Structure formats: C-alpha cells, structure tokens
Amino acid sequence: MQQPGDGDYEAALAAVPEAAWREVEASLAVLPASIAGNAWGGGQESRPGVVQMPFMVYSDGVELLLDQLGRAGVLLPFNWAHWHGRDTYAEVEALRRAPVADAVRFVVAVIRSDRFVEGALDAQLRRGSIGAALENMSAWRREHAAGAG
C-alpha cells in the first residue's frame, strides 16, 4: 500500500464541504458530554468459568463523530501500526502544534487501534488527544480558507 503524504491529507481536509465540517465541529463542541456517555459493557460470567470479554460501548455522540469523520473522507488509510507519531504526540499540547497531516494520522491511528485494543479510542478521547487533533484540523481549515479567499 502506498502511504499518503502530508499533501494528500491536506488535500483531503481542504476538500471536505464546509457544511460537513460544521457537523464535525458541532460534534467537537459537545465532545465532553459525548465522552461521558461511553461505558464498558460485557465482563459478566455467562456460566461458571466463562466470562464475556469486556468491550467499550461508545455514546451516540461519539459514534456520530466517527461517522462524520468517515463521511468527510479525511481518514486516509496508512500503516498506522508502525507510525512513530503516537509516541511523538503523546502530549495533548504537541497535537495542537503538530503538522495537520500528523493530527489526521493520529486520529486514524487511534480509531484503527481501537479495533485491536478495546477502549483505546475512549482513553484518547478522555485524555483530550482526539479533541486536540480535531481542533488542529479545524484551525488548519480556517487558515486555509483565509489564505484561499
């Protein structure tokens, strides 16, 4: 698989229709309330010695945000498992200052890793990392629009 470059992520972010990005920003504005609705499910013993694997149940608001990001077309696939950025951007403030392409990569990496590490997305939502990355993306869009106009 050819890996998308920074320009590919910037082009995808710039191509999102304004109305679609406003929906993402509306979800971002209520993200703290949405995160509070996340809860662990499962973990119960169904019969002696058999325990259902715990799993994260994301709130409707978080599910809506994930759907909006998917429809926006900015979550380009890449080799997230070998990407150095999860360590590089371990601090929330670093994500706010990161190149926008890395902010998008971070969101993709977290969403994809949640398929293999239950609750990975919830942990990053609660830390503020996903919100910071999305704020970075919104700021880039505002700057890009101002520069284009």
* pTM for this predicted structure: 0.92
Q: 38 lies in a domain?
A: yes
pLDDT of residue 15: 95
* Domain count along the chain: 1
The per-residue pLDDT for range 7-61, each reduced to its tens digit, is: 999 999 999 999 999 999 999 999 999 999 999 999 899 899 999 999 999 999 9
Which H, E and C letters describe 64-113, residue by residue?
HHHHHHHHHCCCCCCCHHHCCHHHHCCCHHHHHHCCHHHHHHHHHHHHHH
Q: Print the domain residue range for 141.
A: 6-148
Q: 1 lies in a domain?
A: no
pLDDT grade for 145, boundaries at 50, 70 and 90: confident
